A = this chain, B = another copy of it.
Amino acid sequence: MATLKDVAKEAGLSVTQTSRALNDHSDVSVATRERVKDIARSLQYRPNLSARKLVSGRSGLVGLVVPRTYDLASDSMFIEVVSGLSSEFARRDMQCVLHVAQEDEPIIPVYKRLVGNGALDGFVLIDPSHDDKRAAFLSKAKVPFVVHGRIGSDPGHAYFDIDNETIFHDITRHLTDLGHRRIALLNGVEGRTYVAARTRGYLRALTDSRIPPSDAIIRGGAMTESLGLIATVELFSDPANRPTAIICGSVRIAKGVYQALQGLGLSIPDQVSVFAHDDHIAQMKTEAFYPALSVTDAPMRESWQPLAACLDGAISGAPLSDLQVIGSHRTILRHSTAPPCQ
């Protein structure tokens, strides 16, 4: 491997100046800068990460720790996250160190080890919970991190998130505007911050329409077809309290809901309206649902770039306000919602 010294020798400069040229310091003539970079390229020079880390504190390595959960294998979520992040960081000349924690493995010691080794610049946290131990630990250890989602109402950390509260408020609002008053929400696993945000948006919209919170119908669980299937069957088993509309936290859930409604002989949207949020991680085309599914659309794949950017910023010490990003979404109305039947 070519070292900085080799480049310096070739350029007829000192190691110092060569380093400065390569790092775009202002006190190097532009001509020299370009010349040195050319030489570096021709020598296939790559800075030694360990050496750089030792002196500058940055190694270009970031950590990603995921718990090995029940549905990790079946869910395409995992591969989506890992693949998206790894290529996004690669683009920034950074690398991901991955650890999959075993089911019985406590998570904090993993971070402790990774942090203690001093080889990593920061972490990406996914699936935050309301009272997130990992974030607490990393904050205390003063290790930069970015969260996919938000922890608490006024987060002191870098994050990328979508506006779950508004999204689910808008969905609910769309349904109340159509005249629905018994609207079910099939949400995710209790404890996740985004699940709480979605509930808030939903409840706020109900309140807006003077629907009492006691009329809220919320079910939660792993976002699978089974949830949609089972929840729907249960909801309709009590004839007196059937919802007229169902909001699904994911397309996968919606798939189950469609199946259940078909089984129950209920037609969409005439008898039941269905609306879902689509993060594009289920490999399902919502326009191919029959009837075509109305969705709010916020592709999760669009989050890797901002996540990487925010972590990069956090490591470089950028001001927090630049590191808190809310992604955009859009609403696609198709044919799965209609006014409730009398």
Contact = CB atoms under 8 A, between A and B. Distances in A.
A79 B86 contact: no
Contact of A83 (B44, B47, B54, B68): B68
Interface residues of A, number: 43
A100 B87 contact: yes
Nearest to A95: B97
Given A48-B119, A50-B59, 4 more contacts: A1-B118, A50-B54, A61-B119, A90-B99
Contacts of A110: 90
Contacts of A50: 49-51, 53-54, 59, 118-119
A102 interface: yes
Q: How many copies does the complex hold?
A: 2
A12 B112 CA distance: 27
A80 B73 contact: yes
A298 to B, nearest CB: 19
Given A113-B46, A118-B46, A96 B95 contact: no
A61 B98 CA distance: 11
A283 interface: yes
Contacts of A80: 73
